[in-house]
Chains A and B, each alone.
Chain A
Amino acid sequence: AQKVTQAQTEISVVEKEDVTLDCVYETRDTTYYLFWYKQPPSGELVFLIRRNSFDEQNEISGRYSWNFQKSTSSFNFTITASQVVDSAVYFCALSEPYTGTASKLTFGTGTRLQVTL
């Protein structure tokens, strides 16, 4: 069975601080995909990034960066110079390999990030 753990339930930072959101996953699959989604106060789920299990290269996109470490089964997400608009709940998710049939996402419990002035 797949499992995603986000141990941080809530983080509060002051604007311009860097913040890292942790995600640890469990799976027996050798091929899988990892995702981060953002849920702002308006409620929708916004896709941020996906990583497949073959690609451990870290990625930076503007103020966002992701650190995927297969050895520790972690896929952490860092926001540099946080802004108030980053305030949201962030979900890490894990997917089975897409073998031709639809494969579900298993979500973590989310980390609520509050960025204040």
Chain B
Amino acid sequence: EPEVTQTPSHQVTQMGQEVILRCVPISNHLYFYWYRQILGQKVEFLVSFYNNEISEKSEIFDDQFSVERPDGSNFTLKIRSTKLEDSAMYFCACRGKGTDTQYFGPGTRLTVL
């Protein structure tokens, strides 16, 4: 069964550094999402992406965040200058055309020191 993959599984970085989280969505899916989950809290929507542009973003997704689909298979989330409060699990998700279920990757745990 096709699945969403994410790399790395765990990223440790220093405050102020840039990080790029990578996702490989299911191959024929067209809608892509990033969510985050601060430890012990609920899953929160960050951004959705379709047809090579952002469809919607939350208030969390400020100018420090950006997304890209650089090569038709990868979907990346970049945080330009990480803050302590960016420490969280980041989930990538995708959805196929004409379907209504989002499938999630295993997540990347980001730790900002």
Contacts and interface: CB of A to CB of B under 8 A. Distances in A.
Given A52-B100, A110-B42, A102 B55 contact: yes
B100 A95 contact: yes
B75 interface: no
Nearest to B91: A45
Interface residues of A, number: 25
Nearest to A100: B50
Interface stretch (B11-19, B20-28, B29-37): B29-37
B43 A91 contact: yes
The dominant DSSP class at the B interface is strand
A23 to B, nearest CB: 13
Nearest to A108: B42
B48 A45 contact: no
Contacts of B91: 45
B97 to A, nearest CB: 9
Given A33-B100, A46-B104, A101-B50, 18 more contacts: A37-B104, A43-B106, A43-B107, A44-B104, A47-B101, A52-B100, A91-B42, A93-B43, A95-B100, A102-B50, A102-B55, A102-B56, A103-B48, A104-B56, A105-B33, A105-B45, A105-B93, A107-B44
29 contacts: A33-B100, A42-B106, A43-B106, A43-B107, A43-B109, A44-B104, A45-B43, A45-B104, A47-B103, A50-B101, A95-B100, A101-B50, A101-B56, A102-B31, A102-B48, A102-B50, A102-B55, A102-B56, A104-B33, A104-B56, A104-B58, A105-B35, A106-B45, A107-B42, A107-B43, A108-B42, A109-B41, A109-B42, A110-B42
